[in-house]
């Protein structure tokens, strides 16, 4: 949907990375690996975003590996060679950035709603929790907890499609209802760790079954 508005899927995925990590700096090869896209295509889109003042460039010092073919001239023996490389980050002065962030957020919410609906259709879902990347809690033990009966292959397909569409890795845990109830009753460590962080219960039919 949004790739038609922004001109390309690569540009849209780059925007999502920068707005999801507004304080981080990215090297072009790092972005190419994240997007699994040719480096020249990434460079081209970075140039477009830089020209629009959505992102900015910075040259930061980077340690060069000892086995690098590029040797630092005049370096003292035993010291770590350092060179300045170009990194990209979200611009602090981008006039369009607040509107872009709002648009991306709305698209993300739409995508998450579609993800939930697809997961519910994949099988019998008794309990569904969204946490981790969905609520800005990366330290959480998982991103999705799905309790019920659903084919793992179907869930894998749904999650993989979402990851490709929105450029973010999603960890999920699939658990049978009987196992979940048992682990909840014994105060299981995994469930306790999950509940210690921010989370959203999207579906809960277990209470209605009591």
Question: Is residue 144 a contact partner of residue 203, using CB atoms and an 8 Å limit?
Answer: no
Three-state secondary structure call for residue 181? helix
- pTM of the predicted protein model: 0.69
Instruction: Check residue 85 and give its pLDDT.
Output: 86
3-state helix, strand, coil in the chain (%, to 5): 50, 20, 30
Pairing relationship of beta strands 82-90 and 55-63 according to DSSP bridges: antiparallel
Pairing relationship of beta strands 55-63 and 172-175 according to DSSP bridges: unpaired
What is the domain class of 107-209 according to CATH? alpha beta
User: C-alpha distances in angstroms, 72 versus 62, 78, 82, 85, 87?
Assistant: 12, 12, 7, 14, 20
Contacts within 8 Å (CB) and 24+ apart, 110-117: 111/162, 111/165, 111/166, 115/158, 115/162, 116/202, 116/203
To 10 degrees, the CA torsion angle through 122, 126, 129, 130?
20
Domain boundaries, the chain: 2-95, 107-209
Which residues, in sequence order, are CB contacts of 153 under 8 Å at separation 6+? Answer: none
Would 2-95 and 107-209 be classified into the same CATH topology? no
* pLDDT tens, N- to C-terminus, the chain (210 residues): 565 566 788 898 899 899 888 899 999 999 999 888 899 999 999 999 999 999 999 987 777 666 555 555 555 555 567 788 889 999 998 888 999 988 888 888 888 999 999 999 999 999 999 999 898 888 899 999 999 999 999 999 999 999 888 878 899 999 999 999 999 999 999 999 999 989 999 999 987 555
Domain 2-95 indexed as CATH 1.10.10.10: yes
């Amino acid at each position: 949907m949004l790739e038609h508005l922004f001109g390309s899927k690569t540009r849209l995925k780059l925007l999502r990375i920068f707005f999801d990590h507004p304080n981080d700096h990215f090297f072009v090869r790092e972005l190419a690996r994240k997007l699994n896209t040719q480096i020249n295509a990434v460079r081209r889109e970075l140039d477009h975003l830089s020209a629009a003042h959505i992102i900015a460039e910075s040259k930061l010092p980077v340690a060069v590996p000892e086995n690098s073919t590029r040797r630092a001239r005049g370096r003292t023996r035993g010291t770590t060679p350092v060179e300045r490389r170009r990194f990209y980050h979200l611009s602090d002065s981008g006039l369009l950035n607040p509107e872009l962030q709002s648009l991306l957020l709305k698209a993300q919410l739409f995508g998450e709603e579609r993800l939930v609906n697809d997961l519910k259709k994949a099988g019998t879902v008794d309990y569904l929790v969204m946490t981790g990347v969905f609520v800005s809690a990366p330290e959480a033990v998982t991103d999705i907890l799905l309790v019920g009966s659903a084919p793992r292959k179907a869930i894998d397909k749904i999650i993989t499609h979402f990851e490709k569409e929105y450029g973010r890795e999603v960890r999920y845990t699939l658990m049978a209802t009987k196992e979940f109830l048992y682990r909840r009753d014994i105060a299981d460590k995994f469930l306790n760790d999950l509940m210690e962080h921010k989370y959203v219960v999207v579906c809960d039919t277990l209470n209605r079954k009591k």
